[in-house]
Structure 1
Amino acid sequence: MTATRRSLVRLSALAAGLALAGPAAHAQAPRRKLNILILGGTGFTGPHQVRYAVARGHKVTVFNRGRRQADLPAGVEHLTGDRNTGDLKALEGRTWDVCIDNPTSLPFWVRDAGKVLKGKVKQYIFISTLSVYESNATAGTDETAPLARYTGADVMAETQEKLRADMGLYGPLKAASEAEARKQFGDAAVTLVRPGLIVGPGDETDRFSYWPVRLARGGEVAAPGDGKDPVQFIDARDLAEWTIRLAETGRTGAFNAIGPARPMTMSEMLAGIAQGVKAQPKLTWIPTAFLEAQKINAWSDMPVWIPGQGETAGFHRRSIARAINSGLTYRPLPVTAADTLAWFKTLPAERQAKLRSGLTPEREAALLMAWKTRATAAG
């Protein structure tokens, strides 16, 4: 079935409301100019943070290994080191108003940063993750929900290699990193930003990009569930810019950094993406049970989507009231979709030919055929 006119109208109204809410907050000049240290700064969200901070008059220093190039503004100071080996000499003897720690998922990275920066920064903003929570089963939980617990022998001995080999460690290690941040810098100086799925131009995982690309391609599109499952995600630019505004206001504590501002279903998300990429897709919704029987996996084969029942009932239903009350605003979904597709089209042809998430055309065609065959037999 096609995206309904009702869902498109509703999405348009939602986008208009968010468009009015966002720019006003962005236009307000910061009360003070900051000296900001960004650990990382060349990944997905980092360059957006840097550009936004510089545009608002702040002085920015980035610290990383210098292996990844990024288009950063003139005047940004570049320091080189390697947190994996403990090489933080470039940070010694320096002071900053704020440190934003983007790439850390290992507690010893936070410990070592604390050894050098404790007493040298007034605020430490740690970019964490919604994966720190112990459970995804309950809808509407806020930042006080129980966190995942690390059960290994020595959390400080965990390495990137062990994490890559066992991604089940990701949430517990992030939670342990949060605890280490509070230990090193003190509760009063620590801001914990917990994003979920980060999307938009520059996302190399294709965990959202699949949908703008797929809908723009046209034809019959396999869609997961019945369209009523909830979804949450955040544009990397919204996350980055709000992080800088948290630094400007000095807000501390924990924040669920996800969106949109109002609840959204999978059907509404696809309608908003279709609007952004100027597509009129023919969506065929395939029930969760049938997808499972065909070994079609949520999140990877059907990006963004997670069933909104059972043990994942709360996955896309986290409370974001605290973040919104602290100034988090959102670009309209059609803008994110259009910008994502435009960015994707700049990639090399071989990269565009092989998406890193979602169904291949051949697998999608087989799924649609299997569903139609079953429906015909049942009829």
Structure 2
Amino acid sequence: MRTTRRELIRLGALAAAAMALPGLAHAAQPVPIARAARPMRILILGGTGFTGPFQVQYALARGHQVTLFNRGKRPSPEWPGEVEQLHGDRNSGDLSALRGRQWDVCIDNPTSLPFWVRDAGLALKGNVGHYLFISTISVYADGSRPGITEDAPLAAYKGKDAMAETQQTLMADVENLYGPLKALSEAEAWKQFGDNVAVVRPGYIVGPRDETDRFTYWPHRVAQGGEVLVPGDGKDPIQVIDGRDLGEWMIRLAEARTFGTFNAVGPREPLLMDAMLETSRSVSGSSATFTHVAPEFLVEKKVDLPIWVPRGEGPYAGYGQVSNARAVGAGLTFRPLATTVAETLEWFGSQPAERQAKLRAGITREREAEVLKAWHARPRATAG
């Protein structure tokens, strides 16, 4: 279902009113961004993907000088200020544009390979005072335990030579390599930059500009109305962080010269599956109804739904209950979920028709109807 212009206007109004929804407003209306006490020179590796533009926009608003380094393959957004662009290719080791330059801080957004961190360290040696690395909660060896803290054991690399791994070898075995290679990239960061490192481990990053559609699937589906297939009993914990909250917080970490390792997951208080869906229904004004389907049935029917992980089941059951206490203590804040939902719907509805026609996560309406029909037709146990 393509969003019409009328729907876009309605969703824009809903985004502005989202904080007034009962039980959903936990923050004040946005206020103008104040200038930082000390302007910094910030180097962002990447910068044109998902969270990078939010970092750039916030950094410029705070009065910082921003330099981007990337391959120049992706069009840059229209920045609200002057941004220096440097080009190179980390796959081939071409970081010559960085040599001989100095920055107060470097934010490394796209790295999943240890040799990328090693090469960045060699190119920037002695010329960067603070290195911030975006990692992932997938680095943990055991994702099944609720309450994972930053000190939990990390996934072990079982290959032959981590420094020889490439994007091609990673994608060929992403399930087994992604977490361990991120963990080794973290270790390389500490090796190259000493104690002047902040490692940030997000879970699901969501909101406008999210091209994975993993979170977008849910508010979009609820907004369409009708009977919605909901996995489990609705009480499974969900953890997401708006990309804007993540990007802006990283700039504040840089300003405060904060070092250490942090789980960047949200929201502040526990969020259950049903609450996320109810928020989506309230924000969109949808008349959708929710049908809860047992996890065992979904496994039997080979139904894979995004964001949701059944509590207490499987190797990742703890990923909806990761501890964010350390990050909150370091200043991580969260905008209301209703705001993220409304503005995600508004953003997705502004995309071209062909982009809206097929989401990149979740199941089709036809497949959903098929599974719901089978669920309603299943044999019911009778009282003996």
Equivalent position to 1:349, from 353, 357, 362? 353
Is the counterpart of residue 92 in structure 1 residue 99 in structure 2?
Answer: yes
Q: TM-score, normalised by structure 2?
A: 0.91
Equivalent-residue separation in structure 1 for 2:272 and 2:21 (angstroms): 14
Residue 171 of structure 1 aligns with which residue?
179
Residue 303 of structure 1 aligns with which residue?
306
Letter in 2 for 1:155: A
Counterpart contact for 2:88–2:95, Cα < 8 Å:
yes
Letter in 1 for 2:361: S
Counterpart contact for 1:218–1:281, Cα < 8 Å:
yes
Residue 374 of structure 1 aligns with which residue?
378
Q: 1:28 Cα shift?
A: 5.4
The alignment covers a number of residue pairs equal to 361
Residue 344 of structure 2 aligns with which residue?
340
Equivalent-residue separation in structure 2 for 1:284 and 1:70 (angstroms): 42
Residues 1:378 and 1:370: Cα distance change in structure 2 (over 3 Å)? farther
Alignment of 1:1-379 (within 5 A): 12=21, 15-17=24-26, 19-20=27-28, 23=30, 27=33, 29-71=35-77, 72-167=79-174, 168-186=176-194, 188-297=195-304, 302-310=305-313, 311-374=315-378
Q: 1:13 Cα shift?
A: 5.4
Q: 1:14 Cα shift?
A: 5.1
Equivalent-residue separation in structure 2 for 1:14 and 1:41 (angstroms): 35
Q: Which runs of 5+ in 1 are unaligned?
A: 1-10
Equivalent-residue separation in structure 1 for 2:317 and 2:116 (angstroms): 33
Alignment root-mean-square deviation, CA: 1.7
> What per-residue deviation string (whole Å, max 9, x for no partner) do you get for residues 346-369 of structure 1?
112122111110110110000110
Counterpart contact for 2:223–2:280, Cα < 8 Å:
no
Equivalent-residue separation in structure 2 for 1:375 and 1:208 (angstroms): 32
SS of aligned partner of 2:130: strand
SS of aligned partner of 2:25: helix
Equivalent-residue separation in structure 1 for 2:334 and 2:379 (angstroms): 40
> What per-residue deviation string (whole Å, max 9, x for no partner) do you get for residues 19-67 of structure 1?
13x857x855433111000000000000110001001100000000001
SS of aligned partner of 2:169: helix
Equivalent-residue separation in structure 2 for 1:287 and 1:280 (angstroms): 23
Equivalent-residue separation in structure 1 for 2:312 and 2:214 (angstroms): 21
Q: 1:230 Cα shift?
A: 0.4
SS of aligned partner of 1:339: helix
SS of aligned partner of 2:322: coil
> What per-residue deviation string (whole Å, max 9, x for no partner) do you get for residues 206-259 of structure 1?
101101110111101000000000000100000000010000101010000010
Letter in 1 for 2:52: G
SS of aligned partner of 1:315: helix
Letter in 1 for 2:378: R
Residues 1:375 and 1:30: Cα distance change in structure 2 (over 3 Å)? farther
Equivalent-residue separation in structure 2 for 1:364 and 1:93 (angstroms): 56
Equivalent-residue separation in structure 2 for 1:141 and 1:315 (angstroms): 8
Q: TM-score, normalised by structure 1?
A: 0.92
> What per-residue deviation string (whole Å, max 9, x for no partner) do you get for residues 144-190 of structure 1?
0000111111110000001111112000000000000000001x200
Counterpart contact for 1:215–1:221, Cα < 8 Å:
yes
Counterpart contact for 1:239–1:257, Cα < 8 Å:
yes
Residue 5 of structure 1 aligns with which residue?
none
Letter in 1 for 2:186: E
Counterpart contact for 2:283–2:341, Cα < 8 Å:
yes
SS of aligned partner of 1:255: strand
Equivalent-residue separation in structure 1 for 2:368 and 2:287 (angstroms): 18
Residues 1:141 and 1:13: Cα distance change in structure 2 (over 3 Å)? farther
Letter in 2 for 1:76: V
Equivalent-residue separation in structure 2 for 1:281 and 1:225 (angstroms): 17
Equivalent-residue separation in structure 1 for 2:150 and 2:40 (angstroms): 27
Equivalent-residue separation in structure 2 for 1:90 and 1:312 (angstroms): 40
Residue 7 of structure 1 aligns with which residue?
none
- Identity, % of aligned positions: 58
Letter in 1 for 2:337: L
SS of aligned partner of 2:262: strand
SS of aligned partner of 1:343: helix
